[in-house]
Each structure stands twice: as C-alpha cells, then as structure tokens.
Amino acid sequence: MLVLGIVLFAIGLLFSIAWHELGHFVAARRFGVRVPEFMVGFGPTVFARQRGETSFGIKAIPLGGYIRMIGMIPPAPGERIGRSRRSGPFQGLIDDVRADSAKDIRAGDEDRQFWTRKPWQRIVVMFAGPFMNLILAAVLFIIVLMGFGIPTAQPVVSSVSKCVVPASQATTTDQCPPGAPLTPAAQAGFQAGDRIVSFDGRSYDSWADMQQAIRAASGTVPVVIDRPLPYGGSRTLTLYPRLIQTQLLDLDSVQNPSAPKYVTGSFLGLSPIQPVTRQNPVQVAGYVGDMGVRAVQSILALPAKIPALFGAVFLGEQRDVNGPVSVVGVSVLGGEVLASDNPVAGEIAFMLQLLAAVNVSLFLLNLLPILPLDGGHIVPALWEAAKKRIARMRGRPDPGPVDMAKLMPVAYAFAVVIMLYGGLVILADIVNPIKLPL
C-alpha cells in the first residue's frame, strides 16, 4: 500500500505539472504562437508522439515540465544575421540564449514567435500555467471540504481534564500529580457529552468562536449546558477559569498534530468533539484563503529554513515537520497516508488535500518575479506595456520589446540556486524524511 500510495501521488503530481503546461499551451496556441514541444519532466525523453506541429512527451526526471514556444527571446536591436558568438562570459551566454530561441524558427514563422505578441497576450500565456494550478487546487479543496468534510471542533464536550497541569506535562491518565488542583471544568461538574448552549450569556455555533471567549474569561462564568440521557436536561454550571498555558486548537494544529501550538489564557479543562463535517461554500472560500496566506508565509520563510535542512541532513537533527518538502518527500507522504490504518475515505481526502496544497504552492512559486519562473516573464511584459504607453502619451516612437536575453545571466544564477536548494530538500527527504503522525 505504501508503494501504491507513492505511485498514485506521483501520478497526481505529474498530472498537476501537465495541467500547468496545458494552460501555457492552450493560451499560446490561442494567440498564434507555434509550440514545437510539450514535455512533462526533464532530461532524456522516455516517450514522445507528434501531434500536428507539437511533440508531446514524458522525460526521465519528473521534477517539472515545459512547453517550448518559438521566439521566446527577441532579436537584439540591429542584430546582423550570421553574427559570430561573442567571447565574453555574459555576452556569450546572451548570444547562446538568442541562438537557442531562434533555432526552431522556420520560413513562415516570422509572425508566430512569442516575443511578437502584444504584452498583454504574453502575460496571459505566462499566467495561464499557474492559474491552472489554482483552478485544480480549488477543485480539489471543494471535493475534500464539501464532499468528504474535515474534522471540525463543535461546542460539545468530548472529555474533561481532571487536573490543572502545564500542557507540556499533560497526561492521559486520570491520576493528578501531587499538588495539582482540579480543573475548573472538573470542579463545575462537566461530563463528556454535554452540549454547551451558552457561555457567559452568549451562544456559540462553533468551538473556535467560543474558544476566544474562554481565553478571555475571568471571575465567575455561568455556562448553560444540555446533558444527554439518562441524566438529560438543561442546567447551569458555574466556572472559575484559571490562567494557564493551553494548546491551541486551530486549523494548523488539526493538520499538524505533531507540532502543537500553545497560548496563554484562561483554561477550563474541556476538549471538544471533532466530527468530520462537510463545509459550505463560504467556509471553503475561507479555508482556501487561509491556505494561500500560509503558503505565502512558507515561501517567504524558505531561506530561513536552510540551516534546519542542513542540520537534518548532515547533523542528524530532528526534521522540521513544517519545513519544505520535495516532490520525492511529498510522494512518500502520500504513500504513508494510503498505507495507514485510517478509514479509506479519510486517506483519500488527505491525499487530495495534500495534492491541492502542492498546487497552491506551484501557483505562488511560479509567480515569483524571477526568471526562469513564469513571473519572471510577466514582469518584463508589464514593463514593456508601461514603456509603450508612456511613449504614446509623449508622442514618441515605440521603444520596442524588452531585451529578455540580458536577464539570462541572472536567470541562470537563480536556476543554480533553485537546483542546489531543491537537491538539499530531496536529500533531506531521503536521509531524514518527515513522518506523519498517522
């Protein structure tokens, strides 16, 4: 089941890559750009088939994909046909990039090159790939949240802690350490199954909302509960909250139970039930928005994760469960989910949710304004459009296209950084992989 899970999740990743490239491909063809290649993966070609003017195929290293559009780089102003390659390191690199961009141009392709499209058309072509990942992520989240549901804390008591101890010293037994006082909930007489009708005179539909009131509570707090049979009925219990460090039950804690968060606030000693509940469209939108915010924060934190990755690979330090994961690592995580003893529906939902999160990351990472990422092509097109508009407003001639070739030295340097960072993450996933608490 582990191997099957790895294979199935790897197929999902390959589909996500192909889906991304399909966005570029359809938009490029829509605007008349010729696309000689549509490939999933890098390196040697494993399979390829010609369809029309495009060769579709799979390559040996499944770490990405690409479509090859002719004329990605404009010719240099006043460029002479057959000019020899310059010898300088940067000049030679720029000349090589121009030659590579022009090698697929045939007779009749003069107006089918990418650089000849209007700036807004080039922006659409480059944005279409990440946008496809965003669409796929949204569809997967809708399937998971509205079809399967997720654990959602409700204002119903699941268990009552007997005594007050720091969260780091919590015990699963009913025995209190010497000198530990009873929790406010135990003193008030709460029992498992009690539904909280109102807390301090206010009703709450969700545990998350009520938890904010619990943390801020002080003094004497009346709580109306509805107790199930055989001792059913409505009754009022009196609480005297205590200030203590407690575990935070938020979305991150549900998704990462091995990395709990703690906050200081008033404490009762109640744990809520967390049934799997299907979400409505508004909740789905909020969930996806929260996921996007966390993904942006994770991307911004990537450079700061390098020391921890180095320690996990070479010093045997514990792996950060919230750190970066490679294609290799996330595929193994998908395999572990399928091999777990959880219900099948829960396993499928978790794998789809994991794949959705990957697509959110692909959407955001590809929009970074650095070549060779898609955002690195969008920003020069925006700059070109701005220059053209300013020139028209001032009555000046068209300034022409932005010379993308001059950005290639920076693009190659960034590509090297990406490969080194990606290699470190892959190595960490092999020698010190992240383990899910399944």
Per-residue pLDDT tens over the stretch 310-352: 888 888 888 877 778 887 777 887 777 777 766 777 778 888 8
CA atoms of 35 and 26, how far apart (whole Å): 10
CB under 8 Å, gap of 24 or more: what pairs does 222-230 form? 223/188, 223/196, 223/198, 223/199, 224/196, 224/197, 224/198, 225/190, 225/194, 225/195, 225/196, 225/197, 226/194, 226/195, 226/197, 227/191, 227/193, 227/194, 227/195, 228/193, 228/194, 228/195
Backbone angles phi, psi at 437, to 5 degrees: -80, 70
Is 21 a known active-site residue? Answer: yes
For the chain, the average pLDDT equals: 82
Residues 6+ apart with CB under 8 A from 421: 302, 306
Please tell me the predicted confidence (pLDDT) of residue 254: 44
Confidence of residue 407 (pLDDT cuts 50, 70, 90): confident
Region 39-64: mean pLDDT is: 90
Per-residue pLDDT tens over the stretch 247-303: 555 545 544 545 556 666 777 888 888 888 888 888 888 888 888 888 888 888 888
Please tell me the predicted confidence (pLDDT) of residue 163: 83
Residues 6+ apart with CB under 8 A from 232: 226
Burial of 172 (0-12, 13-18, 19+ CB in 10 A): exposed
Instruction: Delineate the domains of the chain, giving CATH numbers in brackets.
Output: 1-20+117-150+278-438 (no CATH), 153-274 (2.30.42.10)
Per-residue pLDDT tens over the stretch 79-120: 544 455 566 666 767 777 777 777 888 888 888 999 999 999
End-to-end CA distance of the chain: 14
Tokens of 314: 């070479």
Q: Which of 21, 336, 347, 384 is catalytic?
A: 21
Residues 6+ apart with CB under 8 A from 393: none
pTM of the predicted protein model = 0.78
Range with top average pLDDT, 84-88, 127-131, 332-336, 403-407: 127-131
Range with top average pLDDT, 41-55, 71-85, 159-173, 231-245: 41-55
Q: Is the pLDDT of residue 56 over 90?
A: yes
Region 32-46: mean pLDDT is: 92
Please tell me the predicted confidence (pLDDT) of residue 119: 93
Per-residue pLDDT tens over the stretch 423-438: 888 888 888 887 765 5
Region 184-212: mean pLDDT is: 87
User: What amino acid is encoded at 35 in this protein?
Assistant: V
